Every structure is written in structure tokens, then in C-alpha cells.
Amino acid sequence: MVKKNSSTVILVFTRNPELGKVKTRLAKGIGEAAALKVYIKLIAHTEKVLRKINVDKCVSYSVRVRQNDLWDNAVYQKKVQFGANLGERMENAFKNAFNDNYEKVIIIGSDLYDLKPIHIEKAIEALNNNDVVIGPAKDGGYYLLGMKALHQKIFKNKEWGTHTVLQATLNDLKEAKVELLDPLNDIDFVEDLHPYPEFKSYI
């Protein structure tokens, strides 16, 4: 068990990398085997980015905790997501982190090849002077969500996985001070792979 060393924690929401269970929309364009390879490359990129951030880190698995994987047990806390939908799962993860007395809690996704350490560093810094920080995804969702206290409303009544999520979330945060980071490209469909030479062989 990794000890608490920081007042900030980054929670990585990740799917267990299993054939047919990850990147299902991408798989319709390139097949399940290729989609799994892309996803494994994406989570490896996410881990490489996080390794450079000196705060507490926790991997939140979709199905079950894996011990001998790329997320080093000596570095990452490991938990399982729980809840009926993405909103409930994120809300529960935030609740647990605040119950563990973290002052800044940030959730990131694991399917962003454009993610860099600077994005997470900016998010941590933004919470010094803001209630909430959001990293918008170019598809209308978000790749990062951070806060200093739980804003439960933003996890309710959303059409998760659609282009409406970011705007609906911002509508719920009109009373809060919010900072937006640079928008990044989520990889969900085959066309999302086109900008990256590293993924050419999978298309």
C-alpha cells in the first residue's frame, strides 16, 4: 500500500486492457485487436506523463485491480471504480479522495496521446486560485477534472460520452470559479488516430 505523501492526488481512470472491452467505438473502424494495441500504447503514454509529476497518484481500474502491470505498486495507489455510470464512478472517486483528506483532487482519462506533464502541472496550479479546473476535450467532453471540494451536481444528468458534457458541466458551475486548460484530442474514433504517425500501422 502506497502511503499518502502529498495534499494533491491524481486519479487516473483506466479500463482493464482486455480484448473487446476497450475503445469499442475505435474498434468498429480498426478491429478489436488493433484497438486494444492502441489503448495499451495510450495507457503507457499516460503512465510516462504521470511519472514526472511529484504528487500522490492512484489508478482507478474499471473492473478489477491488476498488480503486475505497468502501474508500479510502489508508486501508484490502486482502486476499483464503482457506480452505475461514469458520473457516479467519478463522484465516488472524488468522495473517497476527499475522505482521505486530500486538498486537491484531479481525475484524468487515459486516452490522450497529446497529454503532457505541463497540462497536469497547470491544473494543480490552477486550483490555488480556482474552485474547479477542467481540461476540455475537442469532442465536447473533458480529459481532466480537478477540484478542492466536491461539486456533486456536475456528476448528475449528463449524457456521458457525448459532445454535450463539457457545456452541461460548465452550466452547473456558474457559481464556481473555473479555469479551463488547453483543449486536447481524445482518441475515440479511427479519424482521431490520423494526426499521429505512431498509430499509422493500426489504421
Q: Which domain holds residue 96?
A: 8-193
Q: Is 156 a domain residue?
A: yes
Phi, psi (degrees; rounded to nearest 5) at 102 = -75, 140
- Residue 114 in 3-state DSSP? coil
Q: Is 202 a domain residue?
A: no
pLDDT at residue 123, as a whole number: 98
Burial (0-12, 13-18, 19+ Cβ within 10 Å), 62: middle
CATH number at residue 177: 3.90.550.10
pLDDT at residue 157, as a whole number: 87
Q: What is the mean pLDDT of residues 81-100?
A: 96
Q: Is 1 a domain residue?
A: no
- Residue 193 in 3-state DSSP? helix
The Cα 151–Cα 132 span in angstroms is 9
Q: Is 37 a domain residue?
A: yes
Tell whether the model's pLDDT for residue 24 goes beyond 80: yes
Q: What is the mean pLDDT of residues 99-120?
A: 96
> pLDDT band for position 137 (50/70/90)?
very high
Q: Is 103 a domain residue?
A: yes
Domain count, the chain: 1
The tens digit of pLDDT for each residue in 38-71 reads 999 999 999 999 999 999 999 999 999 998 899 9
Question: Which parts of 22-178 fold into alpha helices (H)?
Answer: 24-30, 32-50, 86-99, 117-126, 165-172
The tens digit of pLDDT for each residue in 152-181 reads 999 998 998 888 999 999 999 999 999 999
Q: Is 93 a domain residue?
A: yes
Q: Is 131 a domain residue?
A: yes
Higher-confidence residue of 40 and 1: namely 40
